[in-house]
Chain A
């Protein structure tokens, strides 16, 4: 087999494929370790690039030690699985997940609004221009307004995520609903379906896999707005912890947290992809 990186018709074998796909990870880890060893040789107290041992200690602290504000001193006597629910990462994950899931749930009304805008001309006339205008507003620019209007509690952070992502989901759903061939709608009516049956039973069902794909694409912006809210005004959450650790140069905690957030996002994305395939076996991506 010859190596032809710029050949469009090239067919790399499985081993080459696997090797290439992991190569950059290996290079990245290698460079990190090399730099970490070099810096620690020069300064054993370096906190910028922690060693593997320091990272492992950071992970252990994050997973097994309670957050400082909850530390009553009794945690050390408990088994690891008893300590885990009191741990820093557990509590931060729970707080961020709660906000994330509330925002995700609020995407359901956004989807329904998008569907109604596309299907019902009067509703479209009422909402479309307003949503288009709202879509152009930079969500982070209204953050001070949200803090003034809703306080610095949960509501403002959830609203930030909703304002940031909901217009995209509404417009995307609207476009998807409009892309359903007119023949399908007409056919539905000739078969005796009512307005609701056509909107929900025909159009929504057909676009549902694409809506889920759209939500998957918007998971990262959703997380971005969550992090922005938590970093600015919060007392718990994954982003709050990263912001706190930044002040203490706690890279041994920040790096595991960043990887943990990436893993969580990957799991949410994979779950949605799995459910999409499971719920819509008929769906074939174009």
Chain B
């Protein structure tokens, strides 16, 4: 039996959500000087609202500005024009309401797992209170919480004393997620966080993050180039594509697809069994002009 097309059943762009906006972009433009008075336009008049509690997967061809969009939310890249706000506050500098899990260099290599996890909370303590009675007690609490986070991520307490280079790629990313969660971020930004992992580890990490989202309802913005991964994880899919003028020069990325996924609440295992996922993947590919094809579905995911 062929899968039933779901396109008609899915709500179309623009998305309306009941919860309050977490990230608002209004008439956003981002241009970079590229020398000789020329500029490269990444975004032009981009309007996008991401709501609190959404799991947004951003897809798009290479170089269309997915990671740049994430860096703007993070506050690292500042828009040339327009307004960008997080929970109603304009973004000015690196946004500390966000947790960040990059693809690489996600952990501090000079610190053990425990020190990596404790880094954020201990920063709030300040350098002089560290050695006071209150500071010691606080550090004890941080340690307890860090061990709980490790367990939540499926790691052992014995891993706490290891340095990042002693862990596998998957374990490092688990610790990186735990590290970000230690600060209880309002928004978790993940930039191709699983792309360097092998298929089995990637499948495990997808389950972990999806469960985490179901439990905590933290707003997650997840940049990926893997259409299956996006279709499995997202509560909302956003496909970006770079528009080009007649000479082929980019004139700014635009949202080609903004799609709410109606079965987002289901467990990942249930989602993977849904025939609609295949239609979602097709739809993503169609809207991205075929500029990028669906990444090969990992073996572990297809089982």
Interface residues of A (CB under 8 A from B): 181-184, 186-194, 197, 201-202, 205-206, 280-284
Contacts and interface: CB of A to CB of B under 8 A. Distances in A.
A282 B96 contact: no
Contact of A192 (B104, B124, B164): B124
B108 interface: yes
Contacts of A181: 104-105
A186 B74 contact: yes
A259 B183 CA distance: 57
A190 B96 contact: yes
A186 B100 contact: yes
Describe B's contact surface by its main secondary structure. loop
21 contacts: A183-B100, A186-B94, A186-B102, A187-B100, A187-B105, A188-B119, A190-B99, A190-B180, A190-B183, A190-B185, A191-B120, A191-B182, A192-B96, A193-B120, A194-B123, A197-B123, A201-B119, A202-B108, A281-B163, A282-B164, A282-B165
Contacts of A183: 100, 102, 104-106
Contacts of A190: 74, 94-96, 98-100, 180, 183, 185
Nearest to A182: B76
B104 A191 contact: no
Contacts of A201: 119
Contacts of B154: none
Nearest to B99: A190
A181 B108 CA distance: 10
Instruction: Give the contact-size bracket for chain B.
Output: 20 to 34
Nearest to A284: B165
Given A181-B104, A192-B183, A281-B163, A206 B109 contact: yes
A280 B110 contact: yes
Contacts of B179: 191
A205 B163 CA distance: 14
Contacts of A281: 163
A66 to B, nearest CB: 49
Count chain A CB atoms within 10 A of each CB in B109, B111, B185 and give the residue with the most.
B109
Given A186-B94, A281-B163, A191 B109 contact: no
Given A183-B100, A189-B96, 17 more contacts: A181-B104, A183-B104, A184-B108, A186-B94, A187-B108, A190-B74, A190-B94, A190-B96, A190-B99, A190-B183, A191-B179, A191-B180, A193-B119, A194-B123, A206-B109, A280-B110, A282-B110
A192 B106 contact: no
B273 to A, nearest CB: 36
B121 to A, nearest CB: 8
Nearest to A202: B108
A186 B110 CA distance: 16
Contacts of B106: 183, 187
Contacts of A187: 100, 102, 105-106, 108
B161 to A, nearest CB: 11
B142 to A, nearest CB: 12
Contacts of A284: 165
Contacts of A188: 119
A206 B120 contact: no
A115 to B, nearest CB: 15
A194 to B, nearest CB: 7
A228 B104 CA distance: 47
A181, A189, A191: which has the most chain B beta carbons within 10 Å? A191
A53 to B, nearest CB: 54
Nearest to A193: B123
Contacts of B109: 206, 282
Contacts of B165: 282, 284
Interface string B177-200: 001101101000000000000000
A152 to B, nearest CB: 44
Interface in B88-133: 94-96, 98-100, 102, 104-106, 108-111, 119-120, 123-124
Contacts of A184: 105, 108
A205 B110 contact: yes
Contact of B110 (A192, A197, A206): A206
Contacts of A194: 123
Give 8 closest A-B pairs by Cβ, nearest first: A191-B120, A181-B105, A189-B94, A192-B123, A183-B105, A183-B102, A282-B163, A190-B100
A187 B188 CA distance: 12
Nearest to B163: A282
B163 A191 contact: no
A75 B16 CA distance: 97
Given A181-B105, A192-B123, A186 B76 contact: yes
Contacts of B98: 190
Most chain-B CB neighbours within 10 Å: which of A201, A281, A282, A283? A282
A248 to B, nearest CB: 53
A206 to B, nearest CB: 5
Contacts of B111: 282
A89 to B, nearest CB: 41
Nearest to B179: A191
Interface in B71-89: 74, 76
